[in-house]
């Protein structure tokens, strides 16, 4: 592999890392799904250098729409906003996208398609990123050519419901890259697009959770506003409540009809019956009346097209002059008595769909589209579908309107009695005073009950207020689900009945059915009233001589019973007392329902918060995993490069070094022979004398041994550098083994020697080694070298960035011991200290510099992934994060940073000499 290929591979890896980082940052920064998708297609197009990248979303019918798109220089036409028919992507292809997460690559020039399944359809296990090519259907080739595409890459986007872990994912859409020219798609590009699709899936799940939470919040706000208007005694705001309800349902009109008073409240667009139907109000028409008679309490009816309903065929004439098409009808009942009906209207509208080519209903659908010209399909008379959340809101409003209308009727009856007060003053004075007093008392008790949303507090308040109002000996609430008394309030030293279960044989199911239909039972004397023997014995065992029981119905379901006990003596229950307890039972039902809704809301909020925290932890773990993989790959490549260079240099250096000693011996022997010749033949030939004088023979004899000596010193230096490179790479020492960390520190410093040297602008960095007598320790040598490399590199960068503080006149080095300890040296310095603990169990390594130091805010974040204070291009923010993981997780050690502005920085590393044994969990 050439250097250019390696640089290209490194650049592509950095591009991939940058793309994923930007995607994660965008998802965490924005909650707008469309904004995230728009950013995604732009970033992917830039990464792939594609001509067009789009996001294609499926709808429930199987057809789809391009909802996000990025195009390079208009090389391909825009498809944004266009819909594609269902048969454009066959059912079999959609199934493979969903089951196997299959990615597809189409090479139009070679008429081949590459299939890359993400997981096995048989085992469900994740597969390697392999691409299997086969011939593609010519129909598909023609389809792509018609779009101007020569190469395409398709990756599925799946949607998983985070609230249901066991639910199967759904095929949400596709991430598609198009090229107008033939292009080879690489495996790493498929891997990157798969990771991008996974991030998009997270954004979709995040958007779905947000939408659900906002919908629920909106519904709760609507219910609270309507409840406030309906229960604002003594003047109930029915007109305002109707307007709130119609607005909440996005309606254009609505009406509330009250059966008893024949009152009609309207707002917005209204139907008008023709004169020939003999009625001006639609709710009074016989067809409507018969329809309401057949409806059961609690049933809510809705249709998106009232003209398609057979039973509304006659009444539909009233809507012809309006734009109303959608209709929701909420029959209102109070204790199985029909009291009115609430209707909501929705307007029809026209829809316009932009299709990518006209779709004809004939066998031409089986052929590829030869034209993608936009075809506008218009549909008239459409109305929004009533969604499940609409039905849920309607069900919640049912109880509030029923109760409010009943209260209004009672209030009007009281007003009617007041209007006739002068005629019946002597007969009704006392009764009216009691009625008004009881109404006031009920209001006070109702406000007291609703002052809290805690269910247990609400129930206790109910029995306490009722017992005080009726002046009875005991008041209890019996819950049907638990089949026992759950709260009680007593006056006197009577036997507690809390937790007592009623005998099943004494209270058959017929009693429950009667209470669910609103039955109220008053027993004036347990000894004489008509009771079963079992019932009488049960009441007498609880010291009860008289009791009054009213049901607590939530909607149409019997929740429990509100019971007043008289234990001292029999008691004749008055009608006013029975009616009072009955109304209090209704108020208790509302309070209990509100408390239950509040508990459910709190529970849902807690679950949503927990899921958000879990999602955040998952994203953090994913970020840590990505960081570890990236740094490990980089260091592995660096180690292989260093080991290869060391191996290639080692052989020729060994050859030179091994022969220098022989060459030195040979030269000395030759020089000795020359001296012997000069001794025994002092008068050489004239030509030899000339040659000796020309080469300066005396200097040659003197300088040649020095040259050989310098060559030996140089070769020794090269061998030490090669040994340091091999020691730093540690390719053969990936496992945990005993090593001398001093060798790793020295090797790392030798590699960084060129950065430690000074120049005209920088005085260089002095390294002070304070090595202790430490033993060899068990560790991952290569990873420890990686930690030293990261710390030394950061120290060198910090000292170089503080270069302006050193000054050319401050290069003198302190020599005294006092200079090293009490005063910071004027020369950039790195100090390294190693010590063993007193019990010989842990090793302490301290690496400090006298650089500019760090502020507390920076020091808190130096171990965070991707955090860096260096200029752009100087660092990635991964070095110290990886180093912390190596020390803390790999070696069970401690890594801390001590730094203050202007006082330099010190890294404190403490690791065990022998790593603790791993605990194996047995099953």
Three-class SS state of 371: coil
367 vs 75, residue with greater confidence: 75
pLDDT band at 190 (very low <50, low <70, confident <90, very high): confident
pLDDT for position 374: 59
CA pair distance 585, 403, nearest whole angstrom: 12
Strand partners, 53: 70, 177
* 132-135 and 170-179 strand pairing: unpaired
Does residue 176 have a pLDDT over 90?
A: yes
How far apart (Å, rounded) are the C-alpha atoms in residues 307 and 315? 9
pLDDT band per the 50, 70, 90 thresholds, residue 822: very low
Mean pLDDT of the chain: 79
Residues 6+ apart with CB under 8 A from 642: 725, 726, 728, 729, 751
Q: How far is CA 309 from CA 346, 382, 522, in A?
A: 16, 15, 47
User: How confident is the model at residue 732, as a pLDDT?
Assistant: 44
Whether 876 contacts 790, CB under 8 Å = no
Per mean pLDDT, which of 201-215, 241-255, 665-679 is the most reliable?
241-255
Instruction: Look at residues 224, 185, 140 and name the one whose alpha carbon lies nearest to residue 47.
Output: 185
Average pLDDT over residues 71-94: 85
* pLDDT tens, position by position, 435-476: 676 677 677 667 766 677 777 887 888 888 888 888 889 999
Q: CB of 784 within 8 A of CB of 895?
A: no
Question: What is the per-residue burial (b if ≥16 Cβ within 10 Å, else e) of 851-875?
Answer: bbbbeeeebeebbebbbbbeeeeeb
Which two structure tokens, joined as six digits, stand for 777?
Answer: 């320790």
On whether the CB atoms of residues 116 and 130 are closer than 8 A, the answer is yes
* Residues 151, 69, 37, 212, CA torsion sign: negative
Using alpha carbons, select from 507, 580, 491, 603 the residue that is nearest to residue 543: 491
Residues 574-614: pLDDT tens digits? 887 888 888 888 888 887 888 788 888 888 888 888 888 88
User: Tokens at residue 596, please?
Assistant: 């239950």
End-to-end C-alpha distance for the chain, whole angstroms? 49
Model confidence at 365: pLDDT above 50: no
Binned at pLDDT 50, 70 and 90, residue 814 comes out as very low
- In DSSP terms, 417 is beta-bridged to none
**Closest to 863 in 3D by CA, of 878, 846, 876, 851:** 878
* Weakest-pLDDT range from 195-209, 323-337, 351-365: 351-365
- Please give the structure tokens belonging to residue 29: 């920064």
For the ranges 133-142, 223-232, 377-386, the lowest mean pLDDT is seen at 377-386
**CA dist., res. 147 & res. 438, Å (int):** 79
Distance of CA 743 to the CA centre of its chain: 46
Contact present, 594 and 587 (Cβ < 8 Å): no
* pTM (two decimals): 0.40
What DSSP state is assigned to residue 295? P
DSSP 3-state percent helix, strand, coil across the chain (nearest 5): 50, 20, 30
Q: Please tell me the distance from the alpha carbon of residue 320 to that of residue 338, in angstroms, as a whole number.
A: 28
pLDDT at site 872: 59
Torsion angle of C-alpha atoms 655, 656, 661, 665, degrees rounded to 10 = 110
CB 428 within 8 A of CB 421: yes
Range in 263-267, 559-563, 810-814, 918-922 the model is least confident about: 810-814
Q: Of 36-45, 427-436, 527-536, give the lowest mean pLDDT range.
A: 427-436
Per-residue pLDDT, averaged over 51-67, amounts to: 90
Residue 450 token pair: 């609703």
Cβ atoms 441, 556 nearer than 8 A = no
- Among 380-389, 399-408, 525-534, 576-585, the least confident range: 380-389
Q: Which of 2-6, 149-153, 309-313 has the lowest average pLDDT?
A: 2-6
749's CB contacts (< 8 A; 6+ apart) are 756, 767, 792
Distance (Å, whole) CA 104 – CA 193? 12
Of 368, 62, 407, 91, nearest to 229 by C-alpha is 407
Q: Three-class SS of residue 342?
A: strand
Residue 48's pLDDT is 87
Q: With b meaning 16 or more CB within 10 Å and e meaning fewer, what string describes 300-334?
A: bbbbbebeeeeebeebeebbeebebbbbbbbbbbb
Query: Which among 224-238, 323-337, 819-833 has the top mean pLDDT?
Result: 323-337
Q: Give me Rg for the CA atoms of the chain.
A: 44
Residues 694-730 as b or e (16 or more Cβ within 10 Å = b): eeeeeeeeeeeeeebeeebeebeebbebbebbbbbbb
Answer whether residue 367 shows pLDDT above 50.
no
> What does the pLDDT look like over 729-782, one tens digit per residue?
554 445 677 888 898 888 888 878 878 887 777 788 999 999 999 998 888 887
What is the average pLDDT across 721-727? 61
Instruction: From residue 31, give the alpha-carbon distance in Å to each of 26, 44, 206, 247.
Output: 9, 20, 8, 26
Paired with 113 in beta bridges are 106, 134
Beta-sheet strand order (sheet of 253-258): 263-268, 253-258, 337-347, 324-334, 301-303
CB-neighbour burial class of residue 735 (10 A; exposed 0-12, middle 13-18, buried 19+): exposed
SS3 389: helix
Half-sphere exposure of 230 (CA within 13 A, CB side): 23
Residues 6+ apart with CB under 8 A from 9: none
Q: Say if residues 458 and 591 touch (Cβ distance below 8 Å).
A: yes
Q: Which residues of 473-504 are buried (b: 16+ CB within 10 A; e: fewer)?
A: bbbbbbbbeeeebbbbbbeeebeebeeeebee
Determine which helix (DSSP H) or strand (DSSP E) holds 846, and give its type and residue range.
strand 842-849
* pLDDT for 655 beyond 70: no
Got the DSSP string for 863-896?
TSTT---SPTTT--S-HHHHHHHIIIIIS--EEE
Q: Examine the pLDDT at 832 and tell me if it is beyond 90.
A: yes
Decide: 155 and 175 in contact? Cβ < 8 Å: yes
* In the predicted structure, residue 505 carries a pLDDT above the cut 60: yes
The reported pLDDT for the residue numbered 31 is: 75
Q: For every residue of 120-153, which 3-state class applies, written as one string?
A: CCCCCCECCCCCEEEECCHHHHHHHHHCCCCEEE
pLDDT at residue 804 above 60? Answer: no
820 has pLDDT over 50:
no
- The candidate with the shortest Cα–Cα distance to 238, out of 447, 390, 397, 391, is 397
The DSSP element (H or E) to which 605 belongs, if any, is helix 575-680
pLDDT attached to residue 254? 92
Cβ atoms of 327 and 305 closer than 8 Å = no
Residue 57 pLDDT > 80: yes
For residue 505, what are its two tokens? 């044989």
């Amino acid at each position: 592999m050439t250097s250019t290929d390696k640089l290209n591979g490194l650049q592509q890896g950095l591009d991939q890392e940058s793309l994923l980082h930007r995607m994660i940052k965008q998802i965490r920064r924005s909650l707008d799904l469309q904004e995230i998708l728009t950013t995604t297609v732009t970033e992917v197009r830039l990464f792939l250098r594609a001509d067009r990248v789009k996001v294609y979303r499926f709808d429930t019918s199987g057809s789809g729409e391009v909802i996000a798109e990025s195009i390079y220089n208009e090389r391909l036409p825009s498809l944004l906003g266009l819909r594609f028919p269902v048969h454009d992507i066959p059912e079999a292809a959609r199934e493979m996208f969903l089951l196997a997460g299959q990615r597809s690559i189409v090479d139009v020039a070679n008429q081949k398609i590459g299939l890359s399944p993400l997981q096995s359809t048989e085992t469900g296990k994740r597969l390697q990123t392999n691409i299997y090519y086969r011939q593609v259907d010519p129909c598909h080739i023609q389809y792509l050519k018609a779009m101007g595409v020569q190469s395409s890459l398709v990756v599925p986007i799946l949607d998983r419901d985070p609230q249901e872990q066991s639910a199967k994912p759904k095929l949400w859409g596709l991430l598609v890259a198009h090229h107008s020219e033939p292009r080879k798609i690489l495996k790493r590009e498929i891997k990157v697009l798969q990771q991008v699709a996974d991030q998009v899936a997270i954004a979709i799940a995040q958007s779905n959770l947000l939408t659900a939470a906002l919908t629920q919040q909106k519904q709760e706000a609507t219910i609270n506003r309507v409840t406030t208007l309906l229960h604002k005694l003594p003047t109930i705001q029915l007109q305002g409540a109707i307007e709130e309800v119609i607005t909440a349902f996005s309606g254009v009109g609505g009406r509330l009809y009250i059966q008893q008073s024949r009152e009609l409240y309207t707002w917005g667009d209204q139907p008008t019956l023709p004169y020939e139907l003999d009625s001006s109000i639609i709710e009074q028409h016989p067809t409507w009346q018969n329809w309401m008679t057949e409806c059961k309490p609690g049933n809510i009816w809705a249709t998106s097209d009232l003209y398609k309903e057979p039973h509304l065929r006659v009444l539909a004439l009233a809507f012809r002059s309006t734009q109303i098409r959608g209709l929701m009808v909420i029959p209102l009942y109070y204790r199985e008595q029909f009291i009115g009906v609430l209707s909501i209207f929705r307007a029809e509208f026209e829809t316009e769909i932009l299709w990518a080519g006209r779709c004809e209903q004939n066998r031409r659908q089986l052929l590829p589209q030869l034209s993608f010209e936009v075809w506008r399909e218009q549909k008239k008379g459409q109305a929004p579908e009533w969604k499940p959340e609409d039905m849920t809101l309607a069900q919640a409003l049912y109880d509030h309107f029923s109760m409010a209308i009943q209260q209004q009727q009672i209030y009007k009856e009281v007003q009617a009695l007041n209007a006739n007060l002068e005629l019946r003053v002597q007969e009704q004075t006392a009764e009216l005073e009691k009625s008004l007093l009881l109404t006031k008392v009920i209001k006070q008790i109702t406000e007291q009950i609703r002052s809290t949303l805690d269910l247990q507090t609400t129930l206790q308040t109910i029995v306490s207020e009722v017992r005080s109002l009726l002046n009875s000996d005991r008041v209890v609430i019996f819950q049907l689900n638990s089949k026992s008394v759950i709260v009680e309030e007593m006056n006197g030293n009577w036997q507690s009945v809390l937790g007592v279960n009623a005998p099943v044989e004494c209270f058959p199911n017929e009693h429950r059915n009667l209470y669910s239909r609103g039955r109220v039972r008053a027993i004036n004397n347990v000894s004489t009233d008509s009771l079963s023997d079992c019932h009488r014995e049960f009441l007498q065992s609880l010291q009860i001589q008289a009791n009054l029981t009213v049901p607590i119905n939530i909607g149409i379901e019997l929740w429990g019973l509100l019971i007043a006990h008289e234990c001292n003596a029999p008691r004749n229950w008055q009608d006013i007392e029975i009616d009072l307890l009955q109304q209090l039972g209704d108020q208790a039902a509302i309070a209990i329902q509100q408390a239950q809704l509040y508990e459910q809301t709190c529970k849902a909020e807690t679950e949503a918060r927990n899921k958000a925290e879990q999602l955040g932890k998952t994203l953090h773990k994913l970020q840590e995993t990505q960081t570890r993989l990236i740094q490990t790959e980089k260091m592995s490549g660096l180690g292989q490069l260093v080991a290869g260079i060391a191996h290639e240099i080692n052989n020729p250096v060994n050859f030179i070094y091994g022969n220098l000693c022989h060459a030195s011996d040979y030269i000395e022997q030759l020089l000795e022979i020359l001296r012997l010749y000069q001794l025994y033949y002092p008068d050489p030939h004239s030509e030899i004398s000339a040659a000796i004088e020309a080469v300066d023979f005396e200097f040659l004899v003197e300088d040649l041994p020095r040259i050989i000596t310098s060559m030996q010193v140089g070769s020794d230096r090269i061998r030490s550098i090669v040994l340091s490179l091999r020691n730093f790479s540690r390719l053969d020492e990936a496992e945990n083994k005993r090593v001398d960390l001093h060798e790793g520190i020295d090797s790392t410093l030798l590699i960084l020697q060129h950065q430690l040297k000074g120049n005209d602008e920088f005085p260089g960095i002095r390294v002070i080694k304070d090595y202790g007598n430490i033993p060899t320790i068990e560790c991952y040598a290569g990873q420890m070298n990686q930690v030293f490399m990261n710390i030394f590199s950061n120290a060198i960068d910090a000292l170089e960035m503080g270069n302006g503080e050193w000054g050319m006149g401050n290069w003198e080095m302190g020599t005294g011991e006092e200079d090293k300890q009490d005063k910071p040296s004027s020369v950039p310095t790195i100090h390294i200290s190693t010590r063993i603990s007193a019990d010989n169990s842990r090793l302490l390594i301290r690496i400090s510099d006298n650089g500019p130091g760090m502020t507390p805010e920076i020091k808190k974040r130096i171990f965070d992934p991707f955090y860096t204070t260096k200029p752009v291009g100087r660092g990635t923010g991964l070095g110290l994060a990886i180093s912390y993981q190596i020390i803390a997780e790999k070696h069970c050690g401690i890594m801390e940073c001590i730094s203050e502005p202007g006082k330099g920085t010190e890294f404190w590393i403490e690791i065990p000499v022998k790593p603790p044994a791993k605990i194996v969990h047995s099953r």
